[in-house]
Amino acid sequence: MDLFEYQGKQLFARYGIPVSAGAVAETVDEAVAAAERVGYPVVIKAQVQVGGRGKAGGVKVANNADEAREHAGNILGLDIKGHVVHRVWVEHASDIAEEYYASFTLDRAAKQYLGLLSAQGGVEIETVAEENPDALAKIEVDPVDGLSEAACRAWVEQAKLDPEATDGAVDILMKLYEAFVGADADLVEINPLILTPDGRVHALDAKVSLDDNARFRHPEWDEFTGLEKLDPREREAAERGLQYVGLDGDVGLIANGAGLAMATCDIVHEVGGQPANFLDIGGGASAQVMANALEVINNDPSVKSIFINIFGGITKGEEVANGIVQALAQVDIASPIVIRLDGTNAEQGREILKAHESDRLVSKPTMVEAARTAVALAQAASSASASVNKGN
């Protein structure tokens, strides 16, 4: 789960990381009121989960109420790379002497934590990594030992920040590490981390991605829910606990397991079709989960045929079959279904489906055959509707 900047700052504040005083606003009036409270000059920042806000006009300085009103009005509702701005964060503007970059994440190859610190902040860190890799100071942290203050100090010195920033940076980085581990984050990033002219080190931005697997020990995360999702299909699927990614084609896909779901997209593409989505019902899915998945696919108007590709390991064939039968009874499935069922209890599942098979529910023995059939059905449906349109 990715947090918005203001949520990330609230989280940082809980760990004692200095952030600017500010407030969230959803309307122009709220933004002006917030600006009056925190004191001019203020920075009004679009709250969207996409980079390049500044360039898109989503970050503006206001020196008085009129400017605050104008900027908030322009930013709220702005479309930044497909993300519509519903909220702004209004904070007191900081004087900046230096801009740095700091982050912690998992280094998958080393299987340890990786801290990155750079004296060149405020720009895309990928650019720094490519153009000037020496400007990036790295530290590997063993999760068992954690980060010692001595190691942290050596890391800061290696990054060649302004010497005046050293103590403040060490303090913030120790707290940032604490937040990374304690808050179960996959990523914590401050860009820019600033040094003010009066020698304070301060987090001017906050990027935090939380590990959804750790939700069971973080009841406080409930306050972060209601995050925007772009695609209404994705929102509906998320509400039903399904892993769904919307794509542009017309063959609706349901598979168990992320790898098989991706392979299903790949094979549909390869036999000349276009997948409408990626949908993983996960391991050990029940009949209800299967029925939910079918409903989500059925609600997508671009879907012309449905390909269910199940290789049961932990998922049981009879549960899958019962879910399909249940969904067929509950809702009017608009598109023909092609199913390929293999693995655990597949025989039982096929037996259950046999009684329901028709030209609307076709069973195929292999992934390739099922993909070809689903693509052919989608193409037939498209050309049929095209000729109907011509007739009109």
Partner 1 sequence: MSILVNADTKVIVQGLTGGQGKFYGLRNRAYGTKVVGGVSPKKAGTDVEGIPVFASVKDAVTETGATATMVIVPAPAAADAVLEAAEAGLALIVVVTEGIPMHDEATFYNRVKRDFSASRILGPNCPGLLTPGECNIGFIPAEVAKAGGPVGIVSRSGTLTYQALNELAEKGIGVTTCVGIGGDPVPGTSFIDCLELFEADPATKAVIMFGEIGGSAEEEAAAYIHAHMSKPVVSYIAGVTAPPGKKMGHAGAIISGSKGTAQAKMEVLEAAGVRVATNPTAAGELMAEVVAAL
Catalytic site positions: 101, 189
**In the complex, what is the shortest distance from the CB of residue 289 to partner 1, in angstroms, rounded to a whole number?**
14
Half-sphere exposure of 285 (CA within 13 A, CB side): 30
Coil, strand, or helix at residue 174?
helix
When binding is defined by CB under 8 A, the residue of 96, 238, 263, 376 that contacts partner 1 is: 263
Give the contact letters, 11-50, x = binds to partner 1 (CB under 8 A), - = no.
----------------------------------------
- C-alpha closest to that of 119 among 104, 94, 101: 101
- 226 in helix, strand or coil? coil
The three-state secondary structure class of 98 is: strand
String marking each residue 99-128 x if it binds partner 1 according to CB under 8 A: -------x-xx-xxx------------x--
Nearer to partner 1, 118 or 344 (CB): 344
Query: Of residues 20, 256, 298, 335, which one binds partner 1 by CB under 8 A?
Result: 256
Give strand ranges (E) for the chain.
Answer: 22-25, 42-46, 59-62, 79-80, 83-84, 88-92, 98-107, 112-118, 136-141, 185-195, 201-203, 207-210, 243-246, 251-255, 277-280, 305-312, 337-343, 361-363
CB of 369: closest distance to partner 1 in angstroms? 10
In terms of CB distance, is 205 or 280 closer to partner 1? 280
Distance from C-alpha of 362 to C-alpha of 360, rounded to nearest angstrom = 6
Cα-based distances in Å from 238 to 86, 281, 293 = 20, 11, 11
The piece of 19-27, 137-145, 161-169, 219-227 that touches partner 1 (CB under 8 A) is: 137-145
Binding partner 1 by CB under 8 A: which of 61, 314, 380, 384? 314
Window contacting partner 1 (CB under 8 A); options: 85-93, 136-144, 148-156, 162-170: 136-144
Any contact of residue 312 with partner 1 (CB under 8 A)?
yes
Is 269 a binding residue for partner 1 by CB under 8 A? The answer is: yes
Strand, coil or helix: 88: strand
Residue 336, Ramachandran bin (φ over 0: left; ψ between -120 and 50: alpha; else beta): beta
Our CB check for partner 1 shows the closer of 20 and 191 to be 191
Instruction: Name the pairing type of β-strands 337-343 and 361-363.
Output: parallel
Q: How far apart are CA 1 and CA 19, in angstroms?
A: 21
Q: What is the dihedral of CA 128, 131, 137, 140, to 10 degrees?
A: 90
By the rule CB under 8 A, 52 interacts with partner 1:
no
Interface with partner 1, residue 311, by CB under 8 A = yes
Interface contacts to partner 1, rule CB under 8 A: 106, 108-109, 111-113, 126, 142-144, 181, 184, 186, 211, 213-214, 216-217, 243, 245, 247, 255-263, 265-267, 269-270, 275, 278, 280, 283-284, 311-314, 342-344, 366-368
